Structure 1
Amino acid sequence: MPVSSRKKREPGSQAEGKGASKSLAPYGQNPDGYILTFAEEFDHFNSRRWNDHIWYERSNPTKNYAVENGVLKIWPQRDAAGQFFNRTLDTDGKYQQTYGYFEMEAKLPRGRGVWPAFWLFAHPGERRPEIDIMEAYPAGEGWGFMDRSGMYRPNVYAATVWPGDGRSNAEGKAAGFVMYETHTDLSAGFHKYAVKWEPHRQTFYFDGKPTMTVHISMADPMYIILDLWFGGASGLPDDTTPQGKDNAFEVNYVRAWKFK
């Protein structure tokens, strides 16, 4: 499994150089079945591709994200008011797709209160279709573990499908939900999180291994979200939550393919 914090290349999958990413295939999938449609390798932060806030909020002026050495980093940070704040990077209005294979390689942050996620989403009218490919809560009961120093670390994450029919989202009822125990510290190295989204089925993968299949019909085009939020099952962050780049949600790449 990939564990380096620097940009990684699978043997034979990609030559170095401009435009080489076009040859990339989904990890563990037959490359003959896919066409690459989105390849973010994070050579720099591209504001023409990414927004730095979700559509219903304003961007917090405290900077807590950057691209360094080919890796996107989003880290816990208090703002000018002394509060931890959510940071969302998304492609809303800039890239969306219906069906295909969506993959991220990332290392997760540690500590109480952190809530990293990788998901697909849309907000047409009052509807909110959503596919959560990965979300983790290091401090939530059953979600993570405490190391010998007393630090909370993630070893479990969830994948969820919300059909976006209005009622199920409002009632907090997901069509599919699974907590996947990885038996490894997800803040110690990079791993691949993915979904294969077909017209009537969504199959989730961890490092190329299928973990869950949900049979739900979803046809809305959805955009990509990467975020570091706080709360949920992980509780509220506090003075024990490490701040700064050394505790970032680090994303090596995000890629998407359509079916041939």
Structure 2
Amino acid sequence: MKYFNSYILVCICFLTINHCFSQLCNGDVVSLINNPECSNNEYLLVFEDNFDSTIVDENTWQFEYPWGRSLVENPEQQYYKSQNVEVNNGVLSLIAKRERVVRRAIPYDPDNKIIDDGYRNKRTFDFTSGMIFSKFNFGYGKYEIRCKIPKAKGMWPAFWLFEGPGKNEIDIFEFWNEHDLFGNVDFDKLARVPNFNLHHEYSKGNVYNCISDWNSDIDFSKKFHTFTLIWKPTYIEWYIDGQLKRRTTKYTSLSTQPIYCDNLKDFEPYLLNKAFPKKEYLHVIMNLAVQSNSNEPKSNSLPKSFDVDYFKFYKQVDCQFVNNVNKVNELLESIEPNAFNVAYTDSVELFENLKIENTKLLVVSSKRLPEGFTNSDTDINFKHYPEICNTKPKLSLEDRVSVFPNPSNGKITIQVDRQLCNSGKIYIINPNGYSMNTIEIDEKSCEVKLDLSYLNQGVYNVLYIQESTGIPISKPLVIIK
């Protein structure tokens, strides 16, 4: 999507409390050159974490921000520790405690350096808490969490999306700063007022904020609730338990009427919401912060936990090149050269005793069939039901990337299924969760040979992301000496 600014600058910001279904913040007049593609296709589940293990999956999550274990520019005062993250009985718990530790706010800066909040880097933290931060980015799609909010003065639970440098942030929710009109803490608001916010550094040093809260009669600490965000190129929607609570569009008319994708036209002027994120791929974050100043928790109110039942991410199915065929020979001669899903919902009978189970994929390209299937001169008939664009199936990705040999001395080959190998990148993640190498996949061979023998012995992670979809696939890699 591209646009150019006109010479007129218009700044408009208004806020509707409770049900905020249309909102423009800091409008700038722009004209579109290339309109975004509009999609009404069904959503496909491409990632989920139900926290069914006894530990957090460290191939997916880390316990700190990339810059450290605190967020010093915010009015918060906790230090994040992995010990404050627990998984029990299918529930992730991020636990805030009154616990004094002396640590660096920014681990890579010297102890005595004065950092952005005006204080010495090494300091005393009176509270510890827990967080998880995704090791890869997610893009446009539907984000869903089922969780229970802690209730106590000073608690600041949040579920949000973020990417730097600068700031591209979507707050799916955060509960904090529950004050009355006089600035005093209103205990009747605790765990009842979710905030739905956007923050974006539109130009260097200029961060624009689009903020809304919803004054609810619901006490979100009593039981689990489902929070959902739909993020599309031209609008964002916030839902609670399936009910729409806020919608904001990227563009409005000059009279501030919301404009949706189907109504955008090239070269016509619109107001751009400058708080709308520019980056298309953001990290997922769940954390429980502890507020500071007058919002500090009471001495006997901790520990408290932010409890998460599951996190799910959905993307819309691309139906552009799906052909409803019933013979593999016809499929192999399809005009679309890239591999695509034939069926992945109800079980599909092929020939003899071959079957595709309801969560698997039959992926066929112009040159090869998946392992276990053979091409022959005779037609292979199969039933195709229901049609791909009228379902909400689960997509299994675990077999789409291969790393071998594994374990290895460091010399490895990485192969990617042809359906996903265009515009893809491979990241080698070290045992501490940091990216060490970035390699672009060869789109002709769909494979990469690497010599990682210089690495120390340990368990690494091979992360593959196709940039056009943002779908992450991770594989553990064991290097032995």
Say whether the fold is shared (TM-score over 0.5).
Answer: yes
2:89 corresponding residue in structure 1: 69
One-letter identity of the residue aligned with 1:136? F
Asked if the contact 2:138/2:284 (under 8 Å) is kept, the reply is: no
Separation in structure 2 between the aligned mates of residue 232 and residue 212 of structure 1, nearest angstrom? 28
- Structure 1's 110 and 158: CA in aligned 2 closer, same or farther, altered over 3 A? same
- Structure 1's 46 and 144: CA in aligned 2 closer, same or farther, altered over 3 A? farther
Asked if the contact 1:88/1:226 (under 8 Å) is kept, the reply is: yes
Separation in structure 2 between the aligned mates of residue 214 and residue 115 of structure 1, nearest angstrom? 24
1:15 corresponding residue in structure 2: none
1:156 corresponding residue in structure 2: 193
Asked if the contact 1:112/1:240 (under 8 Å) is kept, the reply is: no
Separation in structure 2 between the aligned mates of residue 131 and residue 104 of structure 1, nearest angstrom? 15
- Structure 1's 139 and 47: CA in aligned 2 closer, same or farther, altered over 3 A? same
1:98 corresponding residue in structure 2: 139
2:232 corresponding residue in structure 1: 198
Render the CA deviation track for 1:185-229: whole Å, top value 9, x for unaligned. 111111111110000111111111111111125442101000001
2:46 corresponding residue in structure 1: 37
Separation in structure 1 between the aligned mates of residue 236 and residue 293 of structure 2, nearest angstrom? 24
Aligned residue runs from structure 1 range 217-236, under 5 A: 218-231=278-291, 235-236=295-296
Asked if the contact 1:101/1:196 (under 8 Å) is kept, the reply is: yes
Single out whichever of 224-233 and 57-66 deviates more from structure 2: 57-66
One-letter identity of the residue aligned with 2:88? E
Asked if the contact 2:100/2:127 (under 8 Å) is kept, the reply is: no
2:172 corresponding residue in structure 1: 133
Separation in structure 1 between the aligned mates of residue 284 and residue 156 of structure 2, nearest angstrom? 17
Structure number with the bigger relative contact order (C-alpha 8 A, sep ≥ 6) is: 1
Asked if the contact 2:201/2:208 (under 8 Å) is kept, the reply is: no
1:119 corresponding residue in structure 2: 160
Tell me by how many angstroms 1:166 deviates. 4.5
How many pairs are equivalent? Answer: 216
Q: Any idea what SS the aligned residue of 1:63 has? A: helix
Asked if the contact 1:205/1:212 (under 8 Å) is kept, the reply is: yes
Separation in structure 2 between the aligned mates of residue 225 and residue 234 of structure 1, nearest angstrom? 26
Q: Name stretches of at least 5 consecutive residues in structure 2 with no aligned partner.
A: 1-39, 70-78, 102-124, 251-275, 318-481
Single out whichever of 65-74 and 212-221 deviates more from structure 2: 212-221
Separation in structure 2 between the aligned mates of residue 188 and residue 145 of structure 1, nearest angstrom? 18
Separation in structure 2 between the aligned mates of residue 63 and residue 213 of structure 1, nearest angstrom? 37
- Structure 1's 108 and 61: CA in aligned 2 closer, same or farther, altered over 3 A? closer
Which of 48, 51, 59 lines up with 1:48 in the alignment?
Answer: 59
Asked if the contact 2:177/2:295 (under 8 Å) is kept, the reply is: no
Asked if the contact 1:122/1:222 (under 8 Å) is kept, the reply is: yes
Separation in structure 2 between the aligned mates of residue 252 and residue 163 of structure 1, nearest angstrom? 30
Single out whichever of 62-71 and 210-219 deviates more from structure 2: 210-219
Tell me by how many angstroms 1:248 deviates. 1.1
Q: Which has more radius of gyration?
A: 2
Aligned residue runs from structure 1 range 174-189, under 5 A: 174=209, 176-189=210-223
Asked if the contact 1:90/1:224 (under 8 Å) is kept, the reply is: yes
Tell me by how many angstroms 1:160 deviates. 0.6
Q: Any idea what SS the aligned residue of 1:220 has? A: coil
Render the CA deviation track for 1:156-205: whole Å, top value 9, x for unaligned. 110011233245xx55631x321112211111111111110000111111
Q: Name stretches of at least 5 consecutive residues in structure 1 with no aligned partner.
A: 1-30
Q: Any idea what SS the aligned residue of 2:198 has? A: strand
